[in-house]
Amino acid sequence: MAKRVIRTSNAAPPGGPYSQAVVAGDFVHLAGATPHRTDRSLVEGTFAEQARATFDNLAAVAEAAGASLADAVRVGVYLRDLGDFAEMNELFGEYFGAEPPARTTLQADLPGFAIEIDAVLYRPTG
């Protein structure tokens, strides 16, 4: 099984030596998306503004891999403050709809932003 690295200028570039996503067989592994713009500047503002920017970055990388968030089978959400859980949960429902993926939500010591999200997508190629 060959792997293919995904890169797109429609989402924030990686902040280190890793890929935005990697396709391996029928699965797309999306690296953690954060609330940064394509020029790596941080989206300032409310939790909701940062969360929407993060979901939008994740969606842009999924699209570059020929998939969408509707293909998500597992999502990891990392929150600086678990007090934002209810608001994140509401936004999560907007982005993932009626058939949401499995999810883990953890509190994390994030460096200067409120949320990070990673995902695994299932995109059958056969």
Helix 47-64, helix 85-96: angle, nearest 10:
30
Query: Domain range holding 114?
Result: 3-122
Residue 1: pLDDT above 80?
Answer: no
Is the separation of the CB atoms in 33 and 95 below 8 Å?
A: no
Could you read off the pLDDT of 45-104 as tens digits, one per residue? 999 999 999 999 999 999 999 999 999 999 999 999 999 999 999 999 999 988 999 999
Q: What local confidence, expressed as pLDDT, does residue 23 receive?
A: 97
pLDDT category at 125 given cuts 50, 70, 90 is confident
Q: Using CA atoms, how far apart are residues 111 and 118, in angstroms rounded to an integer?
A: 16
Q: Using CA atoms, how far apart are residues 106 and 78, in angstroms rounded to an integer?
A: 5
Q: What local confidence, expressed as pLDDT, does residue 49 receive?
A: 98
Q: What local confidence, expressed as pLDDT, does residue 124 receive?
A: 82
Number of domains in the chain: 1
Q: What local confidence, expressed as pLDDT, does residue 2 receive?
A: 83
Burial of 58 (0-12, 13-18, 19+ CB in 10 A): buried
Q: What is the CATH number of the domain that holds 8?
A: 3.30.1330.40
Q: Using CA atoms, how far apart are residues 5 and 69, in angstroms rounded to an integer?
A: 18
